[in-house]
């Protein structure tokens, strides 16, 4: 496949960034290259925001909030705008998907029919909420004649910081509820994958969102990201990224008590009982770890299998891994693309070799793939001790660790013996057992006989060190709102 003309034209010049409705290009700004991880070649570039640009963006968002340019609109008008953004995303779906494939290495079909569609759906879902935000009346017990009610108000200017593994969809997951709540915002995409968020900015402007309400400032985390987090004008930050960076944000926000929602790392357990339908479990589990080359926070990376089906499950998974088509996302036959960068691939390979040093056995893959692109083989490790680093730490690559267990009671204990608590899944045909396990496992989202299925209506976020708060559903919207209580003496 070849990228369409719209993508080629878009990538022909360095992409400007968006502050107060203006697309900024300036000799004073650094131009950052974007690399295709499948070829290691430069595909395009963008202007990185400097600290003064970020401050201008925050001020613009603040003024638009003060002037009620957006939050002053009726719920119906807001909903129409969000719905228009969704339609524009669909209309430009191929272009956005090519950008995700070229910039992040995703197979085109996954980008086009998974992530781009879900980005559009985020705006449609929260368009529906614009007219449903409201407070309640309360009868109070203080003697006298009073009328009391609550109101929901937008929290103010919000800072949105996204990672490289799903740039468009994560931008949409944050921008849509922020706008539905009536907030103004400054978003910083990952320095590795900024192009699709900048393109989304074009569509948001085209949809008629007033100037200053949505500002996009690409650049690195330590300068652009930290400026957003440190600004007292920014009332809340929604962050998706590593647990390590999440902890830095907590420290940086301590000074101004900024509200934070953090969607961080995971080490999701997958439990397979002896009555599982292996015909469905094998591709489902493999997809749960190998999709997006394992660069997914909910990747099912720890496998606990009942001894009765262990051999059949393992041989099915090995077969799947060995036959997975690894290559460029532009090849329609590709099932797994590259890792995002050379540095990240080195990190994943180091985990594999440390895991082997700590006693794991390689059942499939384990190596980098020579040639251009940051490819590695889909990897399965068995005989993994619970204390092994590949059982404990988030690898963020296509590496499945099969943990040694004697029985499924032990599996439940082991599954919960983690610092993380983002997701998990169980495979069994016994419906009662499935729901019991769902309530036993410490995880923000849990799947039964599937893994990794997202939906905007379903809250998403983590227990333990996997984060604070939720995205999606009414819960996700609430983090962009404040509750005001009013008591009137009549």
Residues marked as catalytic? 263, 297
Verify binding: residue 347, ligand ADP, rule CB under 6 A.
no
Write out the chain in H/E/C secondary structure: CCCCHHHHHHHCCCECEEECCEEECCCCCCEEEEEECCCCEEEEEEECCCHHHHHHHHHHHHHHHHCCCCCCCCHHHHHHHHHHHHHHHHHCHHHHHHHHHHHHCCCHHHHHHHHHHHHHHHHHHHHHHHCCCCCCEECCCCCCCEEEEEEEEECCEEEEECCCCCHHHHHHHHHHHHHHHCCEEEEECCCCCCHHHHHHHHHHHHCCCCCCCEEECCCCHHHHHHHHHHCCCEEEEEEECCHHHHHHHHHHHHCCCCEEEEECCCCEEEEECCCCCHHHHHHHHHHHHHHHHHCCCCCEEEEEECHHHHHHHHHHHHHHHHHCCECCCCCCCCCECCCCCHHHHHHHHHHHHHHHHCCCEEEECCCECCCCCCCECCEEEEEECCCCHHHHCCCCCCEEEEECCCCHHHHHHHHHCCCCCCEEEEECCCHHHHHHHHHHCCCCEEEECCCCCCCCCCCECCCHHHEECCECHHHHHHCCEEEEEEEEEC
Q: Contact region for ligand ADP (CB under 6 A) — 17-25, 40-48, 108-116, 188-196?
A: 188-196
Q: Contact region for ligand ADP (CB under 6 A) — 17-25, 171-179, 183-191, 324-332?
A: 183-191
- Minimum separation from the CB atom of position 230 to ligand ADP (A): 9
Q: Which is nearer to ligand ADP, 121 or 394 (CB)?
A: 394
- Minimum separation from the CB atom of position 226 to ligand ADP (A): 4
- Minimum separation from the CB atom of position 203 to ligand ADP (A): 21
Verify binding: residue 430, ligand ADP, rule CB under 6 A.
no
Verify binding: residue 194, ligand ADP, rule CB under 6 A.
no
- Minimum separation from the CB atom of position 26 to ligand ADP (A): 21
- Minimum separation from the CB atom of position 188 to ligand ADP (A): 6
- Minimum separation from the CB atom of position 28 to ligand ADP (A): 21
Verify binding: residue 241, ligand ADP, rule CB under 6 A.
yes
What is the token pair recorded at 189? Answer: 């995409």
Among 190, 253, 291, 401, binds ligand ADP (CB under 6 A): 190
Q: Which is nearer to ligand ADP, 268 or 414 (CB)?
A: 268
Q: Which is nearer to ligand ADP, 120 or 234 (CB)?
A: 234
Pattern 132-171, binding to ligand ADP, x per CB under 6 A?
Answer: -----------------------------xxxx-------
Among 64, 122, 184, 245, binds ligand ADP (CB under 6 A): 245
Among 91, 206, 222, 277, binds ligand ADP (CB under 6 A): 222
Verify binding: residue 226, ligand ADP, rule CB under 6 A.
yes
Q: Which is nearer to ligand ADP, 248 or 433 (CB)?
A: 248
Among 155, 229, 234, 286, binds ligand ADP (CB under 6 A): 229
Q: Contact region for ligand ADP (CB under 6 A) — 130-138, 220-228, 301-309, 313-321?
A: 220-228
By the criterion CB under 6 A, which residues form the site for ligand ADP? 161-164, 188, 190-191, 220-222, 225-226, 229, 241-242, 245, 248-249
């Amino acid at each position: 496949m070849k990228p369409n003309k719209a993508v080629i034209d878009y990538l022909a010049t360095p992409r400007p960034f968006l502050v107060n409705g203006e697309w900024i290009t300036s000799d004073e700004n650094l131009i950052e290259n974007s690399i295709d991880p499948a070829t290691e070649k430069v595909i395009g570039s963008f202007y990185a925001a400097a600290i003064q640009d970020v401050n201008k963006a925050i001020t613009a968002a603040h003024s638009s909030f003060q002037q009620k340019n957006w939050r002053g609109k009726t719920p119906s008008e807001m909903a129409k705008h969000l719905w228009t953004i969704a339609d524009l995303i669909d209309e430009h779906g191929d272009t956005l998907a090519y950008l995700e494939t070229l910039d992040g290495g995703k197979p085109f079909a996954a980008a086009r029919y998974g992530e781009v569609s879900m980005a559009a759906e985020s705006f449609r879902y929260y368009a529906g909420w614009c007219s449903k935000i409201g407070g309640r009346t309360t009868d109070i017990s203080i003697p006298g004649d009073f009328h009391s009610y609550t109101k929901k108000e937008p929290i103010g200017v919000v800072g949105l910081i996204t990672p490289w593994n799903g740039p468009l969809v994560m931008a949409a997951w944050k921008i849509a509820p922020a706008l539905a709540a009536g907030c103004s915002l400054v978003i910083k995409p990952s320095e590795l994958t900024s192009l699709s968020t900048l393109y989304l900015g074009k569509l948001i402007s085209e949809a008629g969102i007033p100037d200053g309400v949505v500002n996009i400032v690409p650049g690195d985390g330590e300068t652009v990201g930290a400026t957003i987090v440190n600004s007292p004008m920014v009332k809340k930050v929604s962050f998706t990224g590593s647990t390590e960076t999440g902890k830095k944000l907590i420290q940086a926000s301590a000074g101004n008590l900024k509200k934070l929602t953090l969607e961080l790392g995971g080490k999701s357990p997958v439990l397979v009982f002896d009555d599982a339908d292996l015909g469905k479990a094998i591709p489902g589990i493999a997809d749960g770890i190998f999709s997006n080359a394992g660069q997914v926070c909910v990747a099912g990376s720890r496998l606990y299998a009942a001894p009765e089906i262990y051999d059949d499950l393992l041989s099915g998974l090995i077969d799947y891994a060995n036959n997975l088509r690894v290559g460029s996302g532009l090849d329609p036959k590709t099932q797994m693309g590259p890792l995002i960068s050379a540095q990240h691939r080195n990190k994943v390979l180091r985990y594999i070799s440390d895991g082997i040093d700590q006693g794991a056995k390689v059942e499939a893959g384990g190596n980098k793939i020579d040639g251009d692109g940051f490819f590695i083989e889909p990897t399965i490790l068995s005989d993994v001790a619970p204390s092994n680093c590949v059982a404990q730490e988030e690898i963020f690559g296509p590496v499945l660790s099969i943990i040694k267990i004697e029985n499924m009671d032990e599996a439940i204990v082991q599954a919960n013996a983690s610092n993380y608590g983002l997701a998990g899944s169980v495979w069994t045909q016994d419906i009662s057992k499935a729901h019991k396990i769902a309530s036993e496992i410490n995880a923000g989202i849990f799947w039964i006989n599937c893994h990794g299925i997202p939906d905007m209506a379903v809250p998403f976020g983590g227990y333990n060190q996997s984060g604070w708060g939720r995205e999606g559903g009414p819960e996700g919207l609430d983090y962009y709102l404040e509750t005001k209580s009013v008591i009137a003496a009549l």
